Structure 1
Amino acid sequence: MNDLMVFAALFFVGMFLGIFFFGGLWLTVQKSTFSRRPWLWFSISLALRTGVIFVGFYLIAPGGLVWLVSSLTGFVAARGLVIVVTRSFPVHQEQKEVPHASER
């Protein structure tokens, strides 16, 4: 019974990491759509999200392969959850005209 609780906790830790990663990706796409420097949004977001995920899985790894599989299952499940939740948000239809680099 104790192992089941550990696996459930690891699953939810993986879900938290997945919500952070995929939710952060969704926010990055939303913010960079209207930004003058979308490459900056994507670069910083990728570094931050990947760093947090690496640290999270690094801390889980000493528990063994079963712990990693349990948390990775939660991570992948969070992707589906973020997709379902973000579909309920309206898509921005208006876009600002961002001048081309040669026109600045």
Structure 2
Amino acid sequence: MIACYEAMEPFNLFVTLDGENTELTITEADGHYEITHQGHIIAALRPPGEDWQLLPLDELIEEVPLFESDLDPESHKIALHSPIINQIVAEIESR
């Protein structure tokens, strides 16, 4: 029996960061989930073995083709704290 796997459609999610609603886009790509804000990849999550993993920047650079502007720290100042990551994971798992 061949398993049929269908990729998750990208979706937008609003989270509260620094008291403001901020829109993030979640996209499944090559075994991980990219988190983008205003067109910039700000993080990626790897699905669980035991727990979900937030990919460190050096590993993210190896796995995701980034443009120099994606790495500009002034272009997107977003800190993803545990509650935000948990909200993103919950939304991914519900799809």
Shared fold (TM-score greater than 0.5)? no
> TM-score range, shorter-chain basis?
under 0.3
Name whichever structure is richer in strand by fraction. 2
TM-score normalised according to structure 2 size: 0.28
Structure with higher RCO (Cα < 8 A, 6+ apart): 1
Structure whose alpha-carbon radius of gyration is higher: 1
TM-score normalised according to structure 1 size: 0.26
Name whichever structure is richer in helix by fraction. 1
